[in-house]
Structure 1
Amino acid sequence: MTQPPHDKPTAESPEELREQVAQTRQELGDTVQALADKSDVKARAQEKAAALKEQTTAKTAELTEQTKAKAAETAQLLQDKLPEPLKDKAAVAAEQAKAKAAQAERLWQDKAPEPVRNNRTPLLAVGGAALAAYWLLRRRKK
């Protein structure tokens, strides 16, 4: 913004002068706001963190999809190279495992009391911790 010489009038009428003052105020307000935005380090850091989080989420999703595709491809390759007798045995074993899992689930539903069925996760966590403690004690004795 250049300043006009002081000896020449900058406006022809008071209305034009008011318009120039309003425009100058607007420009000054915009400049102050731009400087305030630049100096707000916390807000800029939060914006950068949000952008990085978004990038990370997108990259994670992309890599997850790539990993799933590669795993499926590898599984198919292994399946193709497996001899027929082993494929048959694996299929039978998988069916037996599914049947046993279904049987265990039915037994759980039939035999376990309702409070125990409703609190399955904490019970599994306690059981896992107990097994880990038992394993550590057995390992220490050796």
Structure 2
Amino acid sequence: MTQPPHDERTAASPEELREQVEQTREELGRTVHALTAKTDVKARAQEKAAEVKQQAAVKAGELRAKAADVAHQVQDKVQDKVPDPVKDKAAEAAGQARATAARAGQVWEEKAPEPVRRKAAGAARTARDNRAWLPAALAGAAVVWLACRRRKG
């Protein structure tokens, strides 16, 4: 047998000895559990993958917000550069498009089968929910138009 460490006293009675043995077992169990966890490569890899996935989701959210901010800044700059006649023409075209869409919607309601109308309504909701990109697209189209016009002239 080995000698107990100098800082631990020896058991004076069988009860104390049992208690020390039980404490030693618990400590040994915790140590074995900790070592097992460290050597479980699959579990550690899964934990690391979950951590990286969480970090990627956070970064993606940050990038999405930054992209939206940049898009708004570009839209504001383009709006300042587009001449008033172009803005007027764009507004007029948008009005005509709305009128045509209203007429097409009436014809659609009269002629389209019910299942098709339901799917189209869902697509329209999605488009309405994401219409923040429409002004940016129109501004981009105006910039392209201006660039082509200047190149010809």
Regarding TM over 0.5, the answer is yes
Distance in structure 2 (CA, Å) of the matches to 1:44 and 1:3: 38
Q: Secondary structure at the match of 1:30?
A: helix
Superposition deviation, residue 49 in structure 1:
0.9
Report the Cα distance in structure 2 between the residues aligned to 1:3 and 1:92, rounded to whole angstroms: 97
Q: d(CA) in 2 for partners of 1:40 and 1:114?
A: 57
Matched, 1:66 2:66: yes
Deviates more, 1:100-109 or 1:34-43: 100-109
User: What is the TM-score normalised by the length of structure 1?
Assistant: 0.72
Higher RCO (CA-CA < 8 Å; seq separation 6+): 2
Residue 93 of structure 2 is matched in structure 1 by: 93
Aligned-partner Cα distance in 1 for 2:39–2:102? 63
Work out the CA distance in 1 between the residues paired with 2:3 and 2:73: 72
1:30-74 Cα shifts (integer Å, max 9, x gaps): 111011111211111111111111111111111011000100110
Looking at structure 1, the residues matched to 118 and 83 of structure 2 have their Cα atoms a distance apart, in angstroms, of: 44
- 1:113 and 2:116 correspond: no
Return 5+ residue gaps in structure 1 as ranges: 121-142
Matched residues in 2 for 1:110 and 1:62: separation? 45
Question: Where in structure 2 are the equivalents of 1:1-142 lying within 5 Å?
Answer: 3-4=3-4, 10-118=10-118
Q: Residue 55 of structure 2 aligns to a residue in which SS?
A: helix
String of CA shifts for 1:100-124, please: whole Å, max 9, x gaps: 233323322221122433455xxxx
3-state SS in 2 of match to 1:11: coil
Rounded to whole Å, the distance in 1 between the matches of 2:103 and 2:3 is 90
Shift of 1:96: 2.1
